[in-house]
Amino acid sequence: MAKKRPVVVLGLLGPTLDSGTGPARWERWRPTVAACQHPDLLVSRFELLHQPEYTALARVVRADLASVSPETKVTLTPCPMSDPWDLEPVYAALHDFARAYPFDPEREDYLVHITTGTHVAQIVLFLLAESRHLPARLLQTSPPTRAQRDPERPTLGSWRIIDLDLSRYDRLASRFAAEARERTGVLKAGIDTRNPAFNALIDRIERVAVASRAPMLLTGPTGAGKSQLAGRIYALKKSRRQVAGDFVEVNCATLRGDGAMSTLFGHAKGAFTGAAAEREGLLRKADGGVLFLDEIAELGPDEQAMLLRAVEEKSFRPMGSDREVRSEFQLIAGTHRDLVARVADGTFREDLLARIELWTFALPGLRDRPEDVEPNLDFELAQCERSLGVRVAFSREARARFVAFATSPEALWTGNFRDFSAAVTRMATLCPGGRIDAATVDEEVKRLRARWRPAADRTSPEPSSDDAVLRAALGADGVAALDRYDRAQLAEVVRVCRASPTLSAAGRELFAVSRRGKGSVNDADRLRKYLARFDLSWESARAGN
């Protein structure tokens, strides 16, 4: 039979209900004292919170508790509240206590005594327990009724523990809208993002992260922020006391051969040449925490098979070992690859994909979030200030010029937020006197344009003529059949198609301005229909590329 965990009660001193210093106090029901007198409720420790002005009474209650329950350790904790009937200071004081207290739910059971304190304090304690800031159940004590009176303990009363059923408290749960915003703020690093689709995505990730320990898969282009988001998911779960272990991160693209198996799963001493000592491995290091495998598509077949078993059974066998080890970790995987295509070509296990794709979240690139350029610009400036140790700001003209470029179709942001962060860092480092001026912006814009210009354009000072571009796609007869107006427009469309990696990317480039006013967009379909007017497909438009 499992050993019963010690019970810890957290409660507020009741200046009225717990009062009394003379012998007559023993003739009254005092809830804090009575809570430790019940033979069927053994309290190992009582954390008694009190306002500083009631310290003397708190000491009397502590002494009385020692006399009725010598085995209960009583800790007095001052908890200042400027007005115990005002929600804001009461919530602030109790919230600060909850965040600072060293809870250990694996080893102790916690009860929150909600009988004492003002009604405001009782409500706040309820809300903090409901939100799991206090990982506890509620303890409610009551004075004895006439039928309950015990001649030996006339002031004992009764007690009960309340398990919160959240579905019964919808009205109170609505008060946590601000708390929900704070949680999503953690996932967005405090950036006030404006893109509706991205904000909806983060809301969904937050709900899943708090409610589930199932694997999560983050997809999206390189530099979209998968690693940063994985770390923030861990921070959110850690703040909610849902994980106790570490955040362990590895880029699978850096793992090769025996080193990959050893890095992930560990090895026994002598497992291979050079294995002079036992190695723990990252999966064991992540026990009780979160393991983030970035670029999971780069794992070899043996590593994929071992990982699948570790995810499903929470156990695996290190290299060269004849015994299995266990590790309870939550897996977050990241990739910019198309894993379905990898399954089709036989380089990724279908059963592993099925196991990790229950919660799949596709992160958009920076070009898909033009509304978020300015909030991220402010974030990057703050990061630069911390790293450089000086205040950095744009002049009004320089900021407008950079934002206009950053949100324009010519800003490709091929490295997404990595490109963006690097650009801001360069400007902040090179600007005179911590002020980024228009000349600094122009220099950076010039550099980015050169960086993104296709290699073929760098060697050709003049772009191809419209006719030359169209002949590769339509042939000479097709070009001759076009009106002059259509010829100029179609040539530009074909140029963009030839410079873009996908149909969707070309559509975003061509319709970057008009798409902003639409609630939903399908750039790929719009471009496909335009090409079809001239009997062109995506492949034929790229002919000669």
CB count within 10 Å of CB 116 equals: 24
- Asked whether residue 461 is assigned to any structural domain, the reply reads no
The verdict on 69 and 194 lying in the same domain is no
- Asked whether residue 457 is assigned to any structural domain, the reply reads no
pLDDT digits (tens, 9 = 90+) for 371-401: 999 999 999 999 998 888 888 999 999 999 9
> For residue 540, what pLDDT is reported?
83
The verdict on 305 and 424 lying in the same domain is no
The verdict on 533 and 431 lying in the same domain is no
Which of 164, 198, 227 is where one domain is finished? 164
The verdict on 206 and 282 lying in the same domain is yes
- Answer yes or no: are the C-beta atoms of 33 and 18 closer than 8 Å: yes
- Can you tell me the distance from the alpha carbon of 235 to that of 229, in angstroms, rounded to the nearest whole number? 10
The verdict on 481 and 388 lying in the same domain is no
- Can you tell me the distance from the alpha carbon of 227 to that of 292, in angstroms, rounded to the nearest whole number? 8
Residues forming beta bridges with residue 411, ordered by sequence position: none
The verdict on 385 and 358 lying in the same domain is no
- Asked whether residue 458 is assigned to any structural domain, the reply reads no
Domain count, the chain: 4
- Asked whether residue 480 is assigned to any structural domain, the reply reads yes
- Can you tell me the distance from the alpha carbon of 503 to that of 25, in angstroms, rounded to the nearest whole number? 82
Q: Are strands 290-294 and 216-219 parallel, antiparallel or unpaired?
A: unpaired
- Asked whether residue 519 is assigned to any structural domain, the reply reads yes
The verdict on 106 and 79 lying in the same domain is yes
Cα separations (Å) of 225 from 188, 286, 297, 364, 509? 10, 21, 17, 9, 22
- Can you tell me the distance from the alpha carbon of 370 to that of 511, in angstroms, rounded to the nearest whole number? 13
- Can you tell me the distance from the alpha carbon of 538 to that of 545, in angstroms, rounded to the nearest whole number? 12
Task: Print the domain residue range for 193.
Answer: 178-269+278-362
- Asked whether residue 460 is assigned to any structural domain, the reply reads no
- Answer yes or no: are the C-beta atoms of 311 and 355 closer than 8 Å: yes
Q: Report the CATH number that the domain containing residue 158 is assigned in CATH.
A: 3.40.50.10770
Structure tokens at 273: 């040449």
Q: Are strands 330-335 and 290-294 parallel, antiparallel or unpaired?
A: parallel
493 φ/ψ angles, rounded to the nearest 5 degrees: -60, -45
> For residue 456, what pLDDT is reported?
41
Which residue reads 């078993």 in tokens?
309
| Ranges of residues in the chain whose predicted pLDDT is under 50 | 1, 166-168, 172, 178, 455-456, 458-463
Which of 310, 336, 362 is where one domain is finished? 362
The verdict on 473 and 331 lying in the same domain is no
The verdict on 349 and 383 lying in the same domain is no
- Can you tell me the distance from the alpha carbon of 366 to that of 373, in angstroms, rounded to the nearest whole number? 8
- Asked whether residue 1 is assigned to any structural domain, the reply reads no
- Can you tell me the distance from the alpha carbon of 466 to that of 333, in angstroms, rounded to the nearest whole number? 45
State which amino acid sits at residue 100: A
> For residue 267, what pLDDT is reported?
81
The verdict on 20 and 148 lying in the same domain is yes
3-state secondary structure 194-210: CCHHHHHHHHHHHHHHH
- Asked whether residue 173 is assigned to any structural domain, the reply reads no
**What is the pTM assigned to this prediction?**
0.56
Which residue reads 């003379």 in tokens?
22
Which of 164, 191, 223 is where one domain is finished? 164
The verdict on 196 and 208 lying in the same domain is yes
Which residue reads 């061509």 in tokens?
510
Q: Report the CATH number that the domain containing residue 428 is assigned in CATH.
A: 1.10.8
Strands (E), 252-339: 290-294, 315-316, 325-326, 330-335
> For residue 464, what pLDDT is reported?
52
- Answer yes or no: are the C-beta atoms of 105 and 135 closer than 8 Å: yes
Which residue reads 């939550």 in tokens?
330
SS3 88: helix
Q: In degrees, to the nearest 5, what angle opens at C-alpha 175 toward C-alphas 174 and 177?
A: 75
Q: Report the CATH number that the domain containing residue 199 is assigned in CATH.
A: 3.40.50.300
Structure tokens at 534: 């001239």
The verdict on 526 and 440 lying in the same domain is no
Per-residue b or e along 379-408, where b marks 16 or more CB atoms closer than 10 Å to that residue's CB: bbbebbeeeeeeebebeeebbebbbebbbe
